[in-house]
Amino acid sequence: MNGIAKYEARALSANSLLCVGLDSDKAKIPAQFANPFEFNKWIIDQTHPYVCAYKPNMAFYEALGAKGWDYLAQTVDYIRSNHPDIFTICDAKRADIGNTNAGYVRAIFDELGFDAITLHPYLGKEALAPFLEREDKVSIILCRTSNPESGEFQNIMVGDKPLWRVIAERVATDWNTHHNCMLVMGATYPEEFAGLRDIIGDMPLLIPGIGAQGGDLAGVMRYGIAKNDLGLIINASRSIIFAQNPAYEARTLQAQINGFRARTTC
Amino acid sequence: MNGIAKYEARALSANSLLCVGLDSDKAKIPAQFANPFEFNKWIIDQTHPYVCAYKPNMAFYEALGAKGWDYLAQTVDYIRSNHPDIFTICDAKRADIGNTNAGYVRAIFDELGFDAITLHPYLGKEALAPFLEREDKVSIILCRTSNPESGEFQNIMVGDKPLWRVIAERVATDWNTHHNCMLVMGATYPEEFAGLRDIIGDMPLLIPGIGAQGGDLAGVMRYGIAKNDLGLIINASRSIIFAQNPAYEARTLQAQINGFRARTTC
């Protein structure tokens, strides 16, 4: 099954566009968990009915060296063994040139077994071919990020449009031959999504910035939802995994998202 | 000692602008070496008199999972223990947002102990603060890369100049507060370096693309050398490490580079 089809099937069967970010910073996980994998296991047990996807950010695991790699491998394995229909995203923000990327492809798609990876666009399509040619896997291209001053280059005007929109158009019209691309669009600027669906069609958007970063969920749903009532993977990390009751937070956010879907599709 | 001062001191004492890329692809290393670390140890023993820097590319180690991490850690440790004045670059091409980068900072600067890391610019200065604030370490920003179609975004015109030059200017005038930035400039387009030194001063450039990628060394030296006769870290990987005689190849390339230095400074 193509990775995008996997996401769509899970989003429909679980009735959820929610992604939980497994940003399991060892310094922040409660003391009763021996390590980040044990913590993730508990988070997954608590939240799996309410999600379409999980997204560990590689930085929190890489910080722990070889052990961190093992915690991450155990985490993906636990998801695949117990909930094989949940879409898994490695938020690694990688991108090297040409065949060098084969190392990352092997590590993240084949060894760890993720369905998708986040990628920097700056080196261009030709450099990213080893990712894009994997028809079974999804390449999620950083387009408009959720950090406060992300506009430094992303909003530079190229003719009459900002650079991030040039990138969105290139990905949609030229990179997506195998229908295996998504875009990262931060929730902090949803009004900028206006008109984007005319260019990218139903291409799914990975939306960081909801929750602790204070993104605008109503705006995201209004401007971001695709015609097929899907097309969004809305991520929350800290606001769910470090909450008193992660299951409650995940269920509540899933319902909030679906409330807006009902409204938008009425 | 500041990281740039470390590079300059070594470049002077070894009379070398050469960097050897430890892209030790497990599939390509000769059969007599038990693992990539044993191979790297041999390469370092063979080539250290002729280099100012070593640059392992993370992708080749990440491909091997937790074991790869250990081979990389052993490699940096071997360099630091035996040749503590050699500048070490982790070619990781990372960049996440804000505090998430703290994981990469801890891993690559503190745990592994590299002097420098390569970074994608797309998320902006504010996102990269955890790297840039490390006055003792060097942030090497991807600017103009050596892959064949790197121009897809890097050459997009922003007003009267290509995007890569906008990035070079931002890094030189705004990001470099602690004098700890360098730029990646591929050897495949050295004529584009013309005028760059007027903007960036003596800021060192990391130059990939010499050797197997067929870059233009004469052009690099002509347009790239800084007024202080330094300012270049010229990397070759495969053409040295997989040669019959790595010591000979390294010494020869060091001499070729210095030949052009003599000419340029005459």
> In chain A, which among 236-265 make CB contacts under 8 A with chain B?
none
pLDDT-derived band at B266 (thresholds 50, 70, 90) equals very low
| Angstroms from A81 CA to nearest CA on chain B | 20
Tell me what pLDDT residue A51 has: 98
In terms of CA atoms, which chain A residue is nearest residue B184? A123
pLDDT-derived band at A163 (thresholds 50, 70, 90) equals very high
**Residue-number span of the structural domain to which A189 is assigned:** 3-265
Give the closest residue to B231 by CA, choosing from B210, B208, B206: B206
**How many angstroms separate the first and last alpha carbons of chain A?**
31
Number of domains within chain A: 1
Q: Compute CA distances B35 → B24, B29, B40, B73, B113, whole Å.
A: 9, 8, 9, 13, 21
- For residue B194 the two structure tokens come to 């013309």
Please compute the mean of the pLDDT values over residues A83-110 and round it to a whole number.
96
* Residue A26 touches partner B, C-beta closer than 8 Å: no
How far apart CA A55 and CA A237 sit, in angstroms, is 9
| Angstroms from A106 CA to nearest CA on chain B | 6
| Tens-place pLDDT, residues B110-123 | 999 999 999 999 99
| Tens-place pLDDT, residues A170-209 | 999 999 999 999 999 999 888 888 899 999 999 999 999 8
| Minimum mean pLDDT range among A162-166, B77-81, B171-175, B215-219 | B215-219
Q: In this structure, how many other beta carbons lie within 10 angstroms of the beta carbon of residue A44?
A: 20
Contact B127 A142 (CB under 8 A): no
CB pairs under 8 A between A and B: 177
C-alpha triplet A89, A93, A99: angle, nearest 5°: 100
Please compute the mean of the pLDDT values over residues B55-59 and round it to a whole number.
98
A131: domain CATH number is 3.20.20.70
**Interface predicted TM-score of the whole assembly (ipTM), two decimals:** 0.96
| Tens-place pLDDT, residues B241-260 | 999 999 999 999 999 999 99
